[in-house]
Chain A
């Protein structure tokens, strides 16, 4: 029995060391945001400042349109999530429960778009969006982010698994396709929609390359692009950068802590069910 205990103890020690490595950057981000300038590069490193400085957080809001950036990000990520889940549910329902010629071909065409990584089309997509006159508008941030075969694929898998009887009763009662979709299908897909919602929202909140390309007006920037410019070009003090960084990250961390199981669900479903 002693051997078993030793094994367990070793396992917990290893897990704890890894956990410390994983938590350290987040801790360091926060603690550096409240350090006075003299502590920033102090040797040996300061793990908790003697006199914490809370002013960096306020400075970020004074120097930058930080609140506006947060709003932009929440608005864009939120809109994409809501609209995408709605259109993906419709597509997935069509591809799984409705019968018409060409359905399988459409499914193959939609799935094949998964092969096209975003960075392979960033130049033509930019040209296209510029032709529409969308550069430096919310449209450029939102509309191209909506269509996404990944969400359609996952929802279709889910709908295929719904027993036929659930619909049949409604069909006998003379319910239309639309009624069935809105009254029966959407309500029972709440758990999977919640899982995808968390996934989509975080992915869009953290999106960087596309917003970097299509937005250069300061007031329309999304938070990632905003802080990237703040840290890079102006050589700002590290305390301020870490404060901005921490606040940009905080919403996603809070969402993660409370809705982690939804994120796990959506990731688990993503690859494993053929």
Chain B
């Protein structure tokens, strides 16, 4: 056989394991998921075709609406705060100086640790008689309900998410910042530009591709909030921290309504695709002109 023929065969053989794997474990489930969402199914026994009933049902289900609202509220807080804090951290430790590696390591460390582990300490710190309230009492602030409060629980979940993720995005911003040629800043210095002018006219525009990436990834991550809720609050109190993924998980694996859960998952999938496309349009894929 010719070298060219061998190359074609090798090309497909090399590609095969992952291609088959992705087809079976990602592409096929995505299609299967939509299909299941059209049925009433307990996971065992007969499947009953119900068309789009599961999708209509969602918007009459107060718990689903609650979970959707909580998820959106959380994402609206998580995405911008995560963006600002991780960018601020990156700017803070960008310039090499004494001990900076230590600080970078500390801010980055939570990324390596599981959300479950962190959530347990969080749970302990934010118990009513825990560390957080005893710090408040030093300042004369009365004891708060915290995880038992419908108003406060989501913020505690949010704080945990930020703690666990800002280090990751800080590293991404740091890489983006280091890609900006130093000459731009040197030129601005000659013109006597201030820190904010530097930031606004050089850093921010040139950081657009990085910003786009950070926004997309944190958006997708935010929408999939699950681990923190599972350990910290179990969705409570009174569904105040129940998210789409958490409710879909319960619907499938605690209430055994697979069709309904699949519909929620599919809806979330569509929301994410649409949001990503909108973000892409708005930021034009982060292209720098």
Chains A and B form a bound pair: yes
B116 touches A15 (CB 8 A): no
CB distance from A161 to the nearest CB of B (A): 16
A interface, size bucket:
35 or more
In the complex, chain B residues whose CB is within 8 Å of the CB of A206: 113-116
A28 within 8 A of B: yes
CB distance from B107 to the nearest CB of A (A): 6
B180 within 8 A of A: no
In the complex, chain A residues whose CB is within 8 Å of the CB of B78: none
A213 touches B117 (CB 8 A): no
Which one of A50-58, A60-68, A186-194, A261-269 contacts B?
Answer: A261-269
Cα–Cα distance between A91 and B123 once the two chains are bound (Å):
43
CB distance from A169 to the nearest CB of B (A): 15
In the complex, chain A residues whose CB is within 8 Å of the CB of B21: 87, 143, 146-147
| Chain B stretch 248-266: residues in CB contact (< 8 A) with chain A | 248-249, 252-253, 258, 261-262, 265-266
B210 within 8 A of A: yes
Cα–Cα distance between A110 and B29 once the two chains are bound (Å):
15
In the complex, chain A residues whose CB is within 8 Å of the CB of B26: 113, 116, 121, 147, 149
B224 touches A98 (CB 8 A): no
B106 within 8 A of A: yes
B-side binding surface: helix, strand, loop or mixed? helix
A-B contact count (CB 8 A): 272
A110 touches B108 (CB 8 A): no
| Chain B residues within 8 Å of chain A by Cβ, number | 98
In the complex, chain B residues whose CB is within 8 Å of the CB of A149: 22, 26
Given contacts A152-B18, A267-B172, contact A227 B117 (CB under 8 A): yes
In the complex, chain B residues whose CB is within 8 Å of the CB of A8: 97
The digit string for B100-136, where 1 denotes a CB below 8 A from any CB of A, is 0011011111111111111011111101011100110
A242 touches B120 (CB 8 A): yes
| Chain B stretch 202-234: residues in CB contact (< 8 A) with chain A | 209-210, 213-214, 217, 220, 223-224, 226-227, 230-231, 234
Nearest B-chain residue to A272, judged by Cβ: B175
Given contacts A19-B106, A123-B36, A231-B123, contact A245 B22 (CB under 8 A): no
B11 touches A28 (CB 8 A): no
Q: Which of B43, B111, B137, B253 interacts with A263 by CB under 8 Å?
A: B111
A117 touches B269 (CB 8 A): yes
B92 touches A15 (CB 8 A): yes
A120 touches B33 (CB 8 A): yes
B155 within 8 A of A: no
A44 touches B231 (CB 8 A): no
In the complex, chain A residues whose CB is within 8 Å of the CB of B118: 25
Cα–Cα distance between A106 and B13 once the two chains are bound (Å):
13
Q: What would 25 A/B residue contacts be, using CB atoms closer than 8 Å?
A: A15-B93, A18-B89, A18-B103, A41-B129, A90-B14, A94-B10, A100-B8, A106-B19, A110-B18, A115-B272, A119-B265, A124-B30, A124-B36, A146-B21, A202-B112, A206-B115, A224-B116, A227-B116, A228-B116, A231-B120, A231-B123, A256-B111, A260-B108, A267-B172, A268-B175
